[in-house]
A and B are shown apart, each in its own frame.
Chain A
């Protein structure tokens, strides 16, 4: 199971782009990088997933360099409602392992 490391907290201002980097030095060949978002008093919500290079959806972009030892979640023009905890996971393409959510990154968006 690949261990992930990400900053405990980050602050940003409305309208700015936020980049949260996750390290996963021992990522396995078949691991996918997956990001979840959790608001207070709610369950986590899937944001984006990728294997290599770049993935973009209506919410975020995920950048994965060639060595796949890290990844960066990019949130464009954040708003106050993006204040949440963001979790990075490295997961196999099957259910042969636990979903392990680390402490995540607590993002605070300020006005």
Chain B
């Protein structure tokens, strides 16, 4: 398996623009997670899905952020409108509950977002 795939790897955009980050989880995994990492706040869980259904979105910072998972092999995280404080590395991860009770998450390479 190619692992978790994220695109784009780097995104530079101007404040106010819409940004869409994409993730393809590992085939067969039924959990998908979106994280954000910054120097100041560390690694934060934004939202996670189980079988394509959002389970907990309490980590989503505000209404400008939205996430969807239309099928088992694809998820998006959208920021509209983007702001400079959204600059961070966004990671997608997936897991299967059968592996270590779901604690073994596989992370993608991340998308480095810069909002100017």
Q: How large is the interface on B (under 10, 10 to 19, 20 to 34, 35 or more residues)?
A: 20 to 34
Contact with B along A7-39 (1 / 0, CB 8 A): 000000000000000000000000010100000
Which of B31, B42, B50, B109 lies in contact with A101, CB distance below 8 A? B42
CA distance A34 to B103 in the complex (A): 7
**Residue numbers in B under 8 Å from A100 (CB-CB):** 45
Neighbour of B45 across the interface among A42, A98, A102, A103, CB < 8 A: A98
A48 CA / B106 CA spacing, docked (Å):
13
With A94-B101, A103-B42 in contact, is A43–B48 under 8 Å at CB? Answer: no
A103 and B48 CA atoms in complex are apart in Å by 21
- Chain A's interface: helix, strand, loop or mixed, by majority? loop
The interface size of chain A toward B, counting residues with CB under 8 Å, comes to 22
Expressed in whole angstroms, the minimum distance between the Cβ of B85 and any Cβ of chain A is: 20
Is B25 among interface residues, defined by CB-CB distance under 8 A? Answer: no
Chain B interface residues toward A at CB < 8 A: 4, 31, 33, 42-45, 48, 50, 55-56, 58-59, 91, 93, 97, 100-110
